[in-house]
Structure 1
Amino acid sequence: MKKIALPLLLVGLTSASLQAQDMQETAATTSIDNSFNKWSIEVSGGANKPFRTLAPGYRTDRVNFFTVDLGTRYMFNNKFGLKLDFGYNQFQNNDETPEFKSSYVRGDIQGVINVGRVLNFEDWTSTIGLLAHGGGGVYMLKADDGFDGEDWGANLIGGLTAQFKLSDRIVLTADVTGIANGFQNWTFDGMAQNAGRSVDGVVLNGTLGLTFYLGGAEKHADWVTDVKSDELAALDERIGAVETMMNDSDKDGVPDYLDAEPNSTAGVAVDTKGRAIDRNNNGVPDELESYIENKTKEIAAAGGSGTDLQGLINGGYVNVYFDFNKDMPNSSSTTGINFLTKYLKENPSAKTDVIGYADEIGNSDYNKALSQRRAENVKKILVDSGIDASRLNIIGNGEDTSVNKDSKQARQVVRRVTFIIK
């Protein structure tokens, strides 16, 4: 029974370490990054239909080609934004009226409402969106065969843009836009002057196009559904800062911001500043040192020897664990280093292999180098604890394929450094 007690303790400490790793990995994977891209470029083309004003006897086809739009848009959040856009319309006679040809160029500033987010489209689709836009600007009308010079004026513009997301960077759009001109002196065909109405020409544009999202974030504001208000985000940040201050990484009862030793060995006594009590300054907490000494005596009294402790180490009961893609031991697994330090100091002729492993996630060559760095960092800690470097042999064994790589819990077990006493 006495020989079983120490392995059980070490297994218990290993289990606690793995549970702490699981909590850390879960927290990392469930955090939400509310950053998003805000800029986009919009290109589209299609047809138009001028409803008024045209000179008597002049008409266009019902669908009159062509129309081109180019714009850039900035979203303040996932619901509201501004866009600056430029458009070109060409008007031309149909087969039943005298010939004419004119061009219409405009520039507008418009507000944008993401109707899809306002109406919670995300409840039923992740690929379809709807934008409403409206504003005003200036235009210039020029006729090839009509009046001389250019006709300048102001306009009001508004419309709806349907969106179909092709990827996180490109969206297919279909837009219907109405434009009302003010102070238009000439008809769209350029053949007659207007009667001086306050609202003169009216044009309806229909276009198909593409929107290209700019920025380094994963998503654009058009498709983000978890944006917080500035006040709420600031409050959340302050709360997060307080929570971070109150974290107790090594579970010793002293918050990290007051902890002078935030990686003290789990379960050992600490002072008011979170430092493990080590009165003889040998690098091993007194409580752990006392426990190992007592267990060593128990093993000897039962007829065993130091080889029993060596068997525990070589049998894999003493390990140092690492978080995903990290090469420094996590704060909950320094017990293994302390145990080995104590053993090597009590057995000055013993040497050990320090063997690093990685899980199977990622590139094999990278994981090989990662396992080597893990072993080297554990060696450095041992050397800093007073063990001669010549007694420590570094081995980077790369990936441990002995567990199911699809299991997060199993992968924690193989992200480790083990020891073989010689």
Structure 2
Amino acid sequence: MTTPQTKTKQRAGLTGIALAAVIGIGSFAGSDSAADDLTPKAYAALVQAGLSNVKVDFDGREAKLSNGTPDELAKAEKIVEGVNGVRWAKIDSNRSTNLPDPPTFSLTRVADGVNLNGVVPNAAVAQKLKDAALSLGKVTGDLKIDPNVGTADWLGTLSDVIPSLSEVDDLALSVDGDSLAIGGSLESQAGVDTLADLIEPSLGDLSLDNTLKVDAARLSPSQAEDIKAANVYFARGSSTLDARGKAGLLTLVDVLKRNTGVELEIGGHAGPTDPVRGKALSDERVAAVKEFLVASGIDAARLSTKSYGSDPEADGDAYAEQYRRVDFIVKGN
């Protein structure tokens, strides 16, 4: 039998259940409202701190952070917790490794210049790297631009180093992941060490994989030009070295001493004259040059000679003096 007291108790119980339900619904609504309110505030604080890539997910007033480096996430944690209304912020260990792909870059020596490849985050960075590569000659290949690629310290400093790579033979430089690899050869260990010291400050967080080698038998581009410019010219009918000729040969001596594996052919030419006299004059000129080089400390075994004789058809040529010369051909390098 139901008494008035029993009915009163039942009504009270139903009322309590209803109130609990209302409170529960209100708490969920409040949680969503808090998240909607705090999310833009947290992102604004992160953008101001230069951490716009960090992602924030709110559950009520609690935030979880992802998509950044460990250092970025640690900074973001403090910044978001400092936003008014946030209870706490924690790094989401399940998603914090969702990082953007790193930029890449490669630079390799080709016949008439260098070839570029890689992916960088914006056009300004790409142009700066390409302008630097032009210092090494003609540039082929290109850099792709992908705004979703991450940034890196080396993107702002590597362009300052690239012009210093002009003396590296068989150059191969690449940045991929967390290391910078450089290979090729230089003429001395001092050159290898100097270049490594120059690259080090531009690495940022990268490690250096240095496989540069010493090749004493190679010529740098500037040294090849020195040999090309060392041609010795003679007065008509003469095989005597004058002061200008000796000065050019002293430059050649310096190149040969610094590159002990280089061998040269000394080629003699005579101006318009009869073939017999022309052959004799060519022989005398190469002998005079070889004698000077040997007296200056160059091993005679590294020097071969060849007489090209005269060119009778050059008689009256305004440029006939070009036939009265000794020039050099690199035979072993």
Give the alignment's TM-score, normalised by structure 2.
0.34
Asked which structure has the greater CA Rg, the reply is 2
Of structures 1 and 2, the one scoring higher in RCO (CA 8 A, sep 6+) is 1
Give the helix-richer structure, 1 or 2: 2
Give the strand-richer structure, 1 or 2: 1
Give the alignment's TM-score, normalised by structure 1.
0.27
